[in-house]
Structure 1
Amino acid sequence: MEIIILILAGILFATAIYNLLQKQLLRIIIGTALLSHGAHLFILTMGKLKRGQPPIIMEGISDYVDPLPQALILTSIVISFGVTSLLLVLAYRTANENNSDDMAQLRGDEHE
């Protein structure tokens, strides 16, 4: 199961890097979102996909799940949502001000 999730995280990383290298602003933003999702899966898998009881100490339970990866992922989800929101607002503002979302045109490259 861990191998499948690691392969999925690798596919997300590859797709994210492909989108980050595109010229359109929206594709770059989608690439950053996919990169964060791949990181979430990677952190979850490195925390070992283990089944057990919730981390509440009770008598008779000896197998607990580690809550640290889940807490890190929850924090990372909130941060990536904020970053994605900020990037979408900046892209909207840029597209309205410059009437373009092409990165080459925004840089002022006249050759492309």
Structure 2
Amino acid sequence: MVSHLFMNVEETVSVILFGIGFTMLLLHQNLIKKIMGMNIMDTAVYLFLAAKGYIRGRMVPIVVDGVREVSAYINPVPSGLVLTGIVVSVSTTALMLALTIRLYERYGSLDLDEILTRAKEEEKA
């Protein structure tokens, strides 16, 4: 059992990272910590995809020295998914941070419970 974990160390690390990020997302009330948890989860998924797409002994899918056999190259789809995911992740993080700044300016706190309490008080008034 333990030897399988060490054989697949990248996948094991990605699962642990995902768990850390998910725990941060669920247990912390601070919005910045929730954003950090989302980013850790994103990174775990990218690591997992990159680890699954890599095949030892194969090259990047760029024709070099006239080698055209498919078996000489790795699959480019996981790499493309990771690059696309990084772009989406950066823009999503930027949007979340911008909304967090607006919430802080309006309610004076980054604590989610406090923001919800103040928003309900505003709604009643």
Per the TM superposition, whether the score is higher than 0.5 is yes
Aligned-residue CA RMSD (Å):
2.1
1-structure distance, mates of 2:73, 2:97: 40
Q: Which aligned pairs between 1:1-112 and structure 2 lie closer than 5 A?
A: 3-21=8-26, 22-57=28-63, 59-60=66-67, 62=69, 63-108=72-117
Q: Which has the larger radius of gyration?
A: 2
2-structure distance, mates of 1:38, 1:26: 18
2-structure distance, mates of 1:79, 1:92: 20
Deviates more, 1:16-25 or 1:45-54: 45-54
Deviations 1:10-41 (A, max 9, x none): 11111111110210000000011111101101
User: Between the two proteins, what is the percent identity of the paired residues?
Assistant: 27
Structure 1's unaligned 5+ residue stretches are none
Structure 2's unaligned 5+ residue stretches are 1-5, 119-125
Higher relative contact order at CA 8 Å, sep ≥6: structure 1 or structure 2? 1
Q: Write 1 or 2 for the structure with the bigger share of helix.
A: 2
How far apart are 1:78 and its partner, in Å?
A: 0.3
Task: Compute the TM-score of the two structures, normalised by the length of structure 2.
Answer: 0.78
2-structure distance, mates of 1:88, 1:2: 38
Number of corresponding residues: 110
Do the aligned residues in 1 keep the contact of 2:53 with 2:74 (CA within 8 Å)?
Answer: no
How far apart are 1:104 and its partner, in Å?
A: 0.8
Deviations 1:53-96 (A, max 9, x none): 33234634541121111111000000000001110111111111
